[in-house]
Protein backbone atom coordinates (compact mmCIF):
# COMPACT_ATOMS: atom_id res chain seq x y z
CA UNK A 1 0.00 0.00 0.00
CA UNK A 2 1.37 3.38 -0.95
CA UNK A 3 1.60 6.10 1.69
CA UNK A 4 -1.10 8.71 1.23
CA UNK A 5 -0.83 12.44 1.76
CA UNK A 6 -3.61 14.56 3.21
CA UNK A 7 -4.90 15.51 -0.24
CA UNK A 8 -5.69 11.86 -0.95
CA UNK A 9 -7.64 11.22 2.25
CA UNK A 10 -11.36 10.50 2.12
CA UNK A 11 -13.52 13.06 3.93
CA UNK A 12 -14.64 10.38 6.39
CA UNK A 13 -11.06 9.30 7.19
CA UNK A 14 -9.04 12.50 7.58
CA UNK A 15 -6.43 11.14 10.03
CA UNK A 16 -3.51 9.18 8.52
CA UNK A 17 -2.19 6.58 10.96
CA UNK A 18 0.85 4.33 10.65
CA UNK A 19 0.57 0.56 11.04
CA UNK A 20 3.01 -0.16 13.87
CA UNK A 21 2.23 -3.86 14.30
CA UNK A 22 0.18 -6.51 12.51
CA UNK A 23 -0.30 -10.00 13.93
CA UNK A 24 -2.75 -12.89 13.87
CA UNK A 25 -4.82 -13.49 17.02
CA UNK A 26 -6.68 -16.54 15.66
CA UNK A 27 -7.26 -18.26 12.33
CA UNK A 28 -8.59 -15.61 9.94
CA UNK A 29 -8.33 -12.81 12.53
CA UNK A 30 -5.58 -10.19 12.42
CA UNK A 31 -4.95 -7.31 14.79
CA UNK A 32 -3.45 -4.01 13.67
CA UNK A 33 -1.87 -1.46 16.00
CA UNK A 34 -2.19 2.06 14.63
CA UNK A 35 -0.23 5.14 15.72
CA UNK A 36 0.23 8.73 14.65
CA UNK A 37 3.37 9.02 12.50
CA UNK A 38 5.07 11.29 15.05
CA UNK A 39 4.10 9.09 18.01
CA UNK A 40 1.91 11.81 19.57
CA UNK A 41 -1.10 11.05 21.73
CA UNK A 42 -4.16 9.98 19.77
CA UNK A 43 -7.64 11.48 20.25
CA UNK A 44 -9.41 9.97 23.23
CA UNK A 45 -11.97 7.21 22.87
CA UNK A 46 -14.46 5.56 25.19
CA UNK A 47 -15.24 1.84 25.66
CA UNK A 48 -17.31 0.52 22.75
CA UNK A 49 -15.99 3.12 20.28
CA UNK A 50 -15.15 2.42 16.65
CA UNK A 51 -13.17 4.02 13.85
CA UNK A 52 -13.65 4.03 10.10
CA UNK A 53 -10.70 3.21 7.89
CA UNK A 54 -10.06 3.41 4.17
CA UNK A 55 -8.86 -0.06 3.25
CA UNK A 56 -5.97 -0.49 0.79
CA UNK A 57 -8.45 -1.20 -2.02
CA UNK A 58 -10.29 2.06 -1.26
CA UNK A 59 -13.36 0.82 0.61
CA UNK A 60 -14.57 2.38 3.86
CA UNK A 61 -14.93 -0.05 6.75
CA UNK A 62 -15.80 0.34 10.43
CA UNK A 63 -13.91 -1.51 13.17
CA UNK A 64 -14.24 -1.49 16.94
CA UNK A 65 -11.30 -0.36 19.02
CA UNK A 66 -10.46 -3.34 21.21
CA UNK A 67 -7.66 -1.94 23.38
CA UNK A 68 -8.06 -0.14 26.70
CA UNK A 69 -9.22 3.49 26.34
CA UNK A 70 -6.44 4.79 28.59
CA UNK A 71 -3.91 3.78 25.93
CA UNK A 72 -3.46 7.06 24.09
CA UNK A 73 -0.43 6.00 22.04
CA UNK A 74 -2.27 3.44 19.86
CA UNK A 75 -5.56 2.22 18.45
CA UNK A 76 -5.96 -1.55 18.08
CA UNK A 77 -8.45 -3.08 15.67
CA UNK A 78 -9.02 -6.75 14.83
CA UNK A 79 -10.20 -7.70 11.35
CA UNK A 80 -11.92 -10.93 10.36
CA UNK A 81 -11.16 -12.06 6.85
CA UNK A 82 -14.55 -12.35 5.14
CA UNK A 83 -14.20 -14.37 1.96
CA UNK A 84 -17.72 -13.49 0.74
CA UNK A 85 -17.42 -9.73 1.34
CA UNK A 86 -16.68 -7.04 -1.24
CA UNK A 87 -12.97 -7.33 -0.50
CA UNK A 88 -12.37 -4.81 2.29
CA UNK A 89 -11.32 -7.37 4.89
CA UNK A 90 -9.26 -9.37 2.38
CA UNK A 91 -7.49 -6.16 1.41
CA UNK A 92 -6.70 -5.45 5.07
CA UNK A 93 -5.25 -8.95 5.48
CA UNK A 94 -3.37 -9.21 2.19
CA UNK A 95 -2.24 -5.68 1.40
CA UNK A 96 -1.81 -3.77 4.67
CA UNK A 97 1.72 -4.04 6.04
CA UNK A 98 3.70 -2.65 8.96
CA UNK A 99 4.83 0.87 8.10
CA UNK A 100 1.89 1.55 5.75
CA UNK A 101 -0.41 4.53 6.19
CA UNK A 102 -4.06 3.81 6.93
CA UNK A 103 -6.51 6.73 6.51
CA UNK A 104 -8.65 6.74 9.65
CA UNK A 105 -11.56 8.65 11.18
CA UNK A 106 -11.79 10.10 14.64
CA UNK A 107 -13.32 7.65 17.12
CA UNK A 108 -17.10 7.53 17.38
CA UNK A 109 -19.23 5.58 19.83
CA UNK A 110 -22.67 4.19 18.99
CA UNK A 111 -22.33 1.50 21.68
CA UNK A 112 -21.35 3.39 24.87
CA UNK A 113 -20.78 1.64 28.18
CA UNK A 114 -23.12 2.75 30.97
CA UNK A 115 -20.76 3.73 33.75
CA UNK A 116 -23.15 3.44 36.71
CA UNK A 117 -24.60 -0.01 36.01
CA UNK A 118 -25.28 -2.41 38.87
CA UNK A 119 -23.91 -5.29 36.75
CA UNK A 120 -22.88 -6.09 33.18
CA UNK A 121 -23.68 -9.09 31.01
CA UNK A 122 -21.63 -9.20 27.82
CA UNK A 123 -22.69 -11.55 25.01
CA UNK A 124 -20.26 -11.88 22.09
CA UNK A 125 -20.51 -13.88 18.90
CA UNK A 126 -17.25 -14.36 16.98
CA UNK A 127 -15.60 -11.06 16.03
CA UNK A 128 -18.24 -9.30 18.14
CA UNK A 129 -15.87 -9.74 21.06
CA UNK A 130 -13.87 -6.65 20.03
CA UNK A 131 -15.93 -3.78 21.52
CA UNK A 132 -16.77 -5.89 24.57
CA UNK A 133 -13.09 -6.59 25.17
CA UNK A 134 -12.37 -2.86 25.25
CA UNK A 135 -15.14 -2.47 27.84
CA UNK A 136 -13.71 -5.22 30.01
CA UNK A 137 -10.19 -3.86 29.65
CA UNK A 138 -11.45 -0.42 30.73
CA UNK A 139 -12.40 -1.88 34.12
CA UNK A 140 -8.75 -2.39 35.07
CA UNK A 141 -7.97 -4.47 38.13
CA UNK A 142 -11.08 -3.42 40.05
CA UNK A 143 -14.32 -3.58 38.08
CA UNK A 144 -16.94 -0.96 39.03
CA UNK A 145 -19.65 -3.65 39.07
CA UNK A 146 -19.93 -7.43 38.70
CA UNK A 147 -19.62 -8.60 35.10
CA UNK A 148 -19.97 -11.77 33.07
CA UNK A 149 -19.00 -12.57 29.49
CA UNK A 150 -20.65 -15.25 27.35
CA UNK A 151 -18.45 -15.70 24.26
CA UNK A 152 -19.85 -17.89 21.49
CA UNK A 153 -17.92 -19.16 18.50
CA UNK A 154 -17.89 -22.16 16.24
CA UNK A 155 -14.28 -23.34 16.46
CA UNK A 156 -11.59 -22.86 19.10
CA UNK A 157 -8.95 -22.01 16.49
CA UNK A 158 -11.05 -19.09 15.15
CA UNK A 159 -11.69 -17.65 18.64
CA UNK A 160 -9.60 -14.58 19.47
CA UNK A 161 -8.07 -13.52 22.78
CA UNK A 162 -8.45 -16.91 24.51
CA UNK A 163 -5.24 -16.48 26.52
CA UNK A 164 -6.23 -13.06 27.85
CA UNK A 165 -9.77 -14.11 28.67
CA UNK A 166 -8.39 -17.13 30.51
CA UNK A 167 -6.15 -15.13 32.82
CA UNK A 168 -6.79 -15.70 36.55
CA UNK A 169 -8.41 -12.32 37.16
CA UNK A 170 -11.00 -12.82 34.40
CA UNK A 171 -11.51 -16.55 34.01
CA UNK A 172 -14.19 -16.85 36.68
CA UNK A 173 -16.33 -14.30 34.81
CA UNK A 174 -15.98 -15.81 31.34
CA UNK A 175 -17.96 -18.60 29.67
CA UNK A 176 -16.62 -19.63 26.25
CA UNK A 177 -18.65 -22.01 24.10
CA UNK A 178 -17.53 -23.55 20.80
CA UNK A 179 -20.54 -25.02 19.04
CA UNK A 180 -18.52 -27.36 16.82
CA UNK A 181 -17.83 -30.59 18.70
CA UNK A 182 -20.00 -29.74 21.70
CA UNK A 183 -22.61 -32.36 22.62
CA UNK A 184 -25.39 -29.78 22.86
CA UNK A 185 -24.02 -27.69 19.96
CA UNK A 186 -25.88 -24.41 20.50
CA UNK A 187 -25.46 -22.55 23.78
CA UNK A 188 -28.66 -21.87 25.73
CA UNK A 189 -28.81 -18.16 26.61
CA UNK A 190 -32.23 -18.37 28.24
CA UNK A 191 -31.02 -19.13 31.82
CA UNK A 192 -28.97 -15.90 31.73
CA UNK A 193 -31.85 -13.79 30.37
CA UNK A 194 -34.98 -15.43 31.79
CA UNK A 195 -35.23 -13.21 34.86
CA UNK A 196 -34.89 -9.46 34.15
CA UNK A 197 -32.72 -7.56 36.59
CA UNK A 198 -30.71 -4.36 36.87
CA UNK A 199 -27.80 -5.60 34.76
CA UNK A 200 -27.01 -3.93 31.44
CA UNK A 201 -26.78 -6.43 28.59
CA UNK A 202 -24.32 -5.71 25.77
CA UNK A 203 -24.53 -7.94 22.69
CA UNK A 204 -22.36 -7.84 19.57
CA UNK A 205 -22.14 -10.52 16.94
CA UNK A 206 -23.96 -12.05 13.97
CA UNK A 207 -27.51 -10.88 13.29
CA UNK A 208 -29.13 -14.20 14.34
CA UNK A 209 -27.46 -13.96 17.76
CA UNK A 210 -28.62 -10.38 18.27
CA UNK A 211 -32.15 -11.23 17.19
CA UNK A 212 -32.19 -14.16 19.62
CA UNK A 213 -31.04 -11.91 22.47
CA UNK A 214 -33.62 -9.28 21.51
CA UNK A 215 -36.38 -11.88 21.55
CA UNK A 216 -35.25 -13.25 24.92
CA UNK A 217 -35.08 -9.79 26.51
CA UNK A 218 -38.48 -8.51 25.44
CA UNK A 219 -39.53 -8.50 29.11
CA UNK A 220 -36.46 -6.47 30.17
CA UNK A 221 -36.31 -2.68 30.33
CA UNK A 222 -35.24 -1.51 26.84
CA UNK A 223 -32.79 0.89 28.48
CA UNK A 224 -30.79 -2.08 29.74
CA UNK A 225 -30.33 -3.84 26.39
CA UNK A 226 -27.63 -2.66 23.98
CA UNK A 227 -26.63 -3.98 20.54
CA UNK A 228 -23.78 -3.32 18.13
CA UNK A 229 -23.52 -4.50 14.53
CA UNK A 230 -21.17 -3.79 11.66
CA UNK A 231 -23.54 -4.80 8.89
CA UNK A 232 -23.68 -1.23 7.58
CA UNK A 233 -26.75 -0.47 5.51
CA UNK A 234 -28.20 -3.92 6.15
CA UNK A 235 -27.83 -6.97 3.96
CA UNK A 236 -29.54 -7.17 0.58
CA UNK A 237 -32.28 -9.80 0.66
CA UNK A 238 -33.48 -11.79 -2.39
CA UNK A 239 -36.91 -10.15 -2.48
CA UNK A 240 -35.67 -6.56 -2.05
CA UNK A 241 -37.19 -4.10 -4.52
CA UNK A 242 -36.63 -0.45 -5.35
CA UNK A 243 -39.11 2.01 -3.84
CA UNK A 244 -39.78 5.75 -3.66
CA UNK A 245 -39.15 8.04 -0.70
CA UNK A 246 -40.76 11.45 -0.38
CA UNK A 247 -39.60 14.00 2.17
CA UNK A 248 -42.73 15.77 3.42
CA UNK A 249 -41.16 19.03 4.53
CA UNK A 250 -38.79 19.62 1.62
CA UNK A 251 -41.01 18.02 -1.01
CA UNK A 252 -38.07 16.13 -2.46
CA UNK A 253 -38.69 12.65 -3.89
CA UNK A 254 -36.24 9.99 -5.06
CA UNK A 255 -35.85 6.25 -5.63
CA UNK A 256 -34.05 3.93 -3.23
CA UNK A 257 -32.53 1.18 -5.40
CA UNK A 258 -31.78 -2.37 -4.34
CA UNK A 259 -28.49 -2.51 -2.46
CA UNK A 260 -28.67 1.08 -1.17
CA UNK A 261 -30.12 2.26 2.13
CA UNK A 262 -32.58 5.12 2.48
CA UNK A 263 -29.79 7.00 4.23
CA UNK A 264 -27.44 6.36 1.32
CA UNK A 265 -30.04 7.54 -1.21
CA UNK A 266 -30.67 10.67 0.85
CA UNK A 267 -26.97 11.48 0.87
CA UNK A 268 -26.76 10.90 -2.88
CA UNK A 269 -29.47 13.56 -3.29
CA UNK A 270 -27.84 16.06 -0.96
CA UNK A 271 -30.02 15.33 2.08
CA UNK A 272 -28.17 14.83 5.34
CA UNK A 273 -29.55 13.54 8.63
CA UNK A 274 -27.95 12.43 11.87
CA UNK A 275 -26.51 8.90 11.91
CA UNK A 276 -23.87 6.95 13.77
CA UNK A 277 -23.80 3.14 13.70
CA UNK A 278 -25.50 2.84 10.27
CA UNK A 279 -26.40 -0.74 11.18
CA UNK A 280 -29.76 -0.25 12.90
CA UNK A 281 -28.56 -0.63 16.47
CA UNK A 282 -28.03 2.82 17.98
CA UNK A 283 -31.21 4.75 17.14
CA UNK A 284 -29.49 7.96 16.01
CA UNK A 285 -31.19 8.04 12.60
CA UNK A 286 -34.72 7.53 13.94
CA UNK A 287 -37.04 9.34 11.51
CA UNK A 288 -40.76 10.04 11.57
CA UNK A 289 -42.80 7.87 9.19
CA UNK A 290 -45.91 9.67 7.90
CA UNK A 291 -47.18 7.37 5.17
CA UNK A 292 -46.40 3.95 3.74
CA UNK A 293 -45.49 0.58 5.24
CA UNK A 294 -41.90 0.08 6.38
CA UNK A 295 -39.87 -3.12 6.26
CA UNK A 296 -38.19 -2.69 9.65
CA UNK A 297 -34.71 -4.19 9.93
CA UNK A 298 -33.37 -2.40 13.01
CA UNK A 299 -32.76 -3.59 16.56
CA UNK A 300 -34.13 -0.47 18.24
CA UNK A 301 -37.81 0.23 17.60
CA UNK A 302 -40.45 -1.26 19.85
CA UNK A 303 -43.52 -2.80 18.12
CA UNK A 304 -45.72 0.11 19.16
CA UNK A 305 -43.31 2.57 17.47
CA UNK A 306 -43.06 0.88 14.09
CA UNK A 307 -46.10 2.57 12.51
CA UNK A 308 -44.67 6.04 13.21
CA UNK A 309 -40.88 5.71 12.95
CA UNK A 310 -38.20 4.16 10.79
CA UNK A 311 -34.42 3.73 11.01
CA UNK A 312 -33.29 5.01 7.63
CA UNK A 313 -29.86 3.38 7.83
CA UNK A 314 -31.14 -0.19 7.36
CA UNK A 315 -34.91 -0.41 6.92
CA UNK A 316 -36.71 -0.50 3.59
CA UNK A 317 -40.33 -0.39 2.32
CA UNK A 318 -43.07 -2.92 1.84
CA UNK A 319 -45.18 -0.31 0.08
CA UNK A 320 -44.29 1.43 -3.18
CA UNK A 321 -43.56 4.72 -1.36
CA UNK A 322 -42.61 5.99 2.08
CA UNK A 323 -43.27 9.55 3.21
CA UNK A 324 -40.81 10.72 5.85
CA UNK A 325 -41.07 13.64 8.27
CA UNK A 326 -38.07 15.45 6.80
Topology of domain 6-104, CATH: Elongation Factor Tu (Ef-tu); domain 3 (2.40.30)
User: What φ, ψ does residue 174 adopt, rounded to 5°?
Assistant: -115, 130
Name which CATH class applies to 120-228. Answer: alpha beta
304-314 pLDDT, tens digit per residue, is 999 999 999 99
Confirm if 70 and 45 have CB atoms less than 8 A apart: no
Report the mean per-residue pLDDT for the chain.
Answer: 92
244-274 pLDDT, tens digit per residue, is 999 999 999 999 999 999 999 999 999 988 8
* CA distance linking residue 179 with residue 28, whole number of Å: 18
The ranges assigned to domains in the chain are 6-104, 120-228, 243-324
pLDDT recorded at residue 285 = 95
Over residues 222-236, mean pLDDT? 86
Per DSSP, helices labelled H in 49-189 are: 88-95, 129-138, 162-165, 168-171
Answer whether residue 181 shows pLDDT above 70. Answer: no
pTM, rounded to two decimals: 0.87
Answer whether residue 85 shows pLDDT above 80. Answer: no
What CATH architecture applies to the domain 243-324?
Roll (3.10)
Other C-beta atoms lying within 10 Å of the C-beta of residue 323: 17
Answer whether residue 3 shows pLDDT above 50. Answer: no
Amino acid sequence: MQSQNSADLHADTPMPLRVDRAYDVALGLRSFELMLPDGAALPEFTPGAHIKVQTPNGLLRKYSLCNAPEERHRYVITVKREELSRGGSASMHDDLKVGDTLPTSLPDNAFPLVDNAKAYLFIAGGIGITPLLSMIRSFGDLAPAPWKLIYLSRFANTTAFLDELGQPGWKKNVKIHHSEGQPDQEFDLWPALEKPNTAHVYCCGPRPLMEAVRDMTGHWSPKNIHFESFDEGGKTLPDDKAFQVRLARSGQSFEVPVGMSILGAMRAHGCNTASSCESGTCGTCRTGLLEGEADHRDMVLMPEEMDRHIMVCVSRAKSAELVLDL
